[in-house]
């Protein structure tokens, strides 16, 4: 196989490896906090950012990052003022993102380009986007490492963490920003519509067999790595959409693993 | 020396008066049981002492420091009523949960060192869970889970520990073993302040009883003078095991 000799394939691989590390790192906490819908809302807002970016002629990944962060702040803000309605906050932001994406997608100069953000594409990653993805991924990984203890404590017991002096609000805020970055970085390669699946499925697999928080974190990265790389190659060889292929491989593995659930 | 001093404490939630003019003192080395029917404000009282809630009026001093200014949270530990309400499928080992307790001492940007790890192992050993250290906490029995939270509270070597109904929802044997464990900790010099419905722990382990009543008043007595009949008239629980 010499598909690796193509520049676009090398770029796709590098970005895929980065995505397979950062997505489950975020996904772990999202799953354990039972916040899966937030990942969905942010990825759809990212899509709105993509549409507006393409419409304005700006880089779509950067506008996606900006839009997801605004969406993340909006969710936090709505949640703070109407604490009983956090579900609604997420749903409203998701709908708003979908609305904007739908309206502007009809106005973008190159509709095919917009479509690559829905289901992912490996041929379209530019060198600039690869560097953006690399820098943002490194920021995410370092932040997650630094906040490892805080994130574990908050995820396990938020009240207890606050009492022990963990700056819960700040850490939660940083985490939401990281989530926004991850969904935007992953949008190009795997597609906005499947990012939240990519956050959740590797974690679901690792939760079946792991016996500690630490191994769960490591294993979810290993699973995501396997799914992403194999999905990427299968999608190239059979000319399939990468995002969907990655997710379907993940689900197949999950189904195989279910009988091995730890007792 | 008095380690905790509560003076003329009053507190209301917006819609309900909870505590009115409550005063009592806890000496170093005491084992205090806080009793009262459901909803009389036992958990609220602990939260006021721990500065999670702000009193309407009155004064609280921990180790002679007003609770508002008290910040040595590694010296006091708290096992909340909700401790065992965690997500049972959460993949965390006993050791990982106990290690989280280190945070109140170490704070941010800290890498656990050999002495931190030793403190974790010692706390796990103290509650008798050494052989379960690598087990997932969600797989343990209710009594064992409660011990994990006691270990997490002990990890910084506190000299005062607050527990909110640590014996609810676990079987009688586990209740006894938790109470004995707390008795041992108390003998080792830790001041224990526990909200409980369990009369036998009042009788066997505590030396003082703080009784909250529905009118917001509190009354502290010696455990010896506190006979089980008084308890029965105040608690609608049938936990009277001494017969
Ligand atoms: N955050 C709150 N806001 C309003 N009322 C509350 C709140 N927390 C508790 N209460 C009420 O205050 C009363 C005392 O609660 P609590 O201290 O938990 O009682 P206990 O621990 O003695 O069972 C209860 O009637 C409860 O419903
Ligand atoms: Mg209570």
Number of residue pairs across A and B with CB atoms under 8 Å?
70
pLDDT at B54 > cutoff 90: yes
Contacts of B109 in chain A (CB under 8 A): 146
pLDDT digits (tens, 9 = 90+) for A25-35: 999 999 998 88
Helices within A106-147 (DSSP H only): 111-119, 127-146
Check: CB of residue A174 under 8 Å from CB of residue A147.
yes
Q: What is the pLDDT at residue A192?
A: 87
Instruction: Quickly state the pLDDT bin for B10 (edges 50, 70, 90).
Output: very high
More confident position, A106 or B59: B59
Task: Give, for ligand 1, the residue of B15, B20, B36, B43 to mutate: max count of ligand atoms closer than 8 Å to Cβ.
Answer: B43
pLDDT at A235 > cutoff 60: yes
Which letter does DSSP use for residue B102 in this model?
T
Mean residue pLDDT of chain B comes to 88
- Residue B42 CA: which ligand 1 atom is closest? 22
Report d(CA A72, CA A49) in Å as an integer: 13
Selection from B240, B243, B231 nearest residue B33 by Cα: B231
Contacts of B90 in chain A (CB under 8 A): 32, 155-156, 213
Structure-token pair, residue A117: 């953000």
pLDDT digits (tens, 9 = 90+) for A190-206: 888 888 899 999 999 99
Closest Cα to atom 2 of ligand 1? B13
| pLDDT cut 70: percent of chain B above it | 93
* Range of A172-176, B14-18, B96-100 with top mean pLDDT: B96-100
Asked casually if ipTM beats, i.e. exceeds, 0.90, the reply is no
Tell how far the Cα of B170 is from the centroid of ligand 1, in angstroms: 23
Domain that holds residue A165: 2-262
pTM value? 0.89
The bridge status of strand B65-66 relative to strand B57-62 is antiparallel
CATH code, A107: 1.10.3470.10
The bridge status of strand B160-164 relative to strand B76-79 is parallel
- Number of structural domains chain A divides into: 1
């Amino acid at each position: 196989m010499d598909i690796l000799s193509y520049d676009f394939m090398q770029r796709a691989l590098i970005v895929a490896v980065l995505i397979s590390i950062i997505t489950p790192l975020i996904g772990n906490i999202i799953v354990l906090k039972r916040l899966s819908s937030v990942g969905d809302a942010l990825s759809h807002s990212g899509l709105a950012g993509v549409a507006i970016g393409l419409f304005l002629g700006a880089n779509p990944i950067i506008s996606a990052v900006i839009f997801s962060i605004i969406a993340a702040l909006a969710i936090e803000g709505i949640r703070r003022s109407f604490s009983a309605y956090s579900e609604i906050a997420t749903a409203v932001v998701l709908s708003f993102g979908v609305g904007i994406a739908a309206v502007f997608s009809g106005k973008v100069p190159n509709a095919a380009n917009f479509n690559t953000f829905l289901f992912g594409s490996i041929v379209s990653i530019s060198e600039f986007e690869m560097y953006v993805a690399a820098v943002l991924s490194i920021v995410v990984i370092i932040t997650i490492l630094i906040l490892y203890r805080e994130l574990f404590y908050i995820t396990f017991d938020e009240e207890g963490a606050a009492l022990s002096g963990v700056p819960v609000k700040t850490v939660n805020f940083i985490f939401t920003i990281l989530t926004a970055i991850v969904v935007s970085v992953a949008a190009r390669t795997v597609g906005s519509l499947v990012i939240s699946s990519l956050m959740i499925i590797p974690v679901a697999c690792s939760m079946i067999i792991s016996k500690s928080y630490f191994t769960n974190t490591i294993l979810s990265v290993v699973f995501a790595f396997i799914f992403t790389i194999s999905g990427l190659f299968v999608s190239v060889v059979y000319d399939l959409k990468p995002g969907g292929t990655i997710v379907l491989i993940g689900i197949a593995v999950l189904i195989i693993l279910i009988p091995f659930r730890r007792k | 020396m008095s380690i905790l001093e509560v003076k003329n404490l009053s507190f209301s939630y917006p819609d309900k008066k909870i505590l009115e003019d409550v005063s009592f003192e806890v000496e170093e080395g005491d084992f205090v049981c806080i009793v009262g029917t459901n909803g009389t404000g036992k958990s609220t009282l602990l939260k006021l002492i721990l500065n999670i809630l702000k009193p309407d009026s009155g004064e609280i001093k921990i180790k002679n420091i007003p609770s508002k200014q008290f910040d040595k949270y590694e010296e006091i530990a708290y096992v909340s009523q909700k401790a065992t309400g965690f997500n049972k499928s959460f993949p965390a080992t006993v050791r990982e949960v106990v290690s989280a307790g280190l945070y109140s001492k170490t704070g941010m940007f800290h890498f656990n060192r050999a002495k931190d790890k030793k403190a974790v192992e010692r706390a796990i050993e103290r509650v008798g869970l050494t052989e379960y250290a690598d087990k997932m906490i969600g797989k343990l029995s209710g009594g064992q889970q409660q011990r994990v939270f006691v270990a997490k509270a002990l990890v910084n070597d506190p000299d005062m520990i607050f527990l909110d109904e640590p014996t609810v929802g676990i079987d009688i044997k586990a209740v006894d073993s938790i109470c004995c464990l707390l008795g041992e900790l108390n003998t080792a010099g830790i001041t224990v302040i526990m909200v409980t419905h369990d009369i036998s722990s009042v009788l066997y382990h505590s030396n003082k009883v703080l009784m909250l009543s529905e009118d917001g008043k509190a009354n502290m007595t010696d455990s010896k003078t506190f006979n089980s009949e008084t308890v029965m008239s105040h608690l609608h629980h049938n936990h009277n095991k001494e017969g």
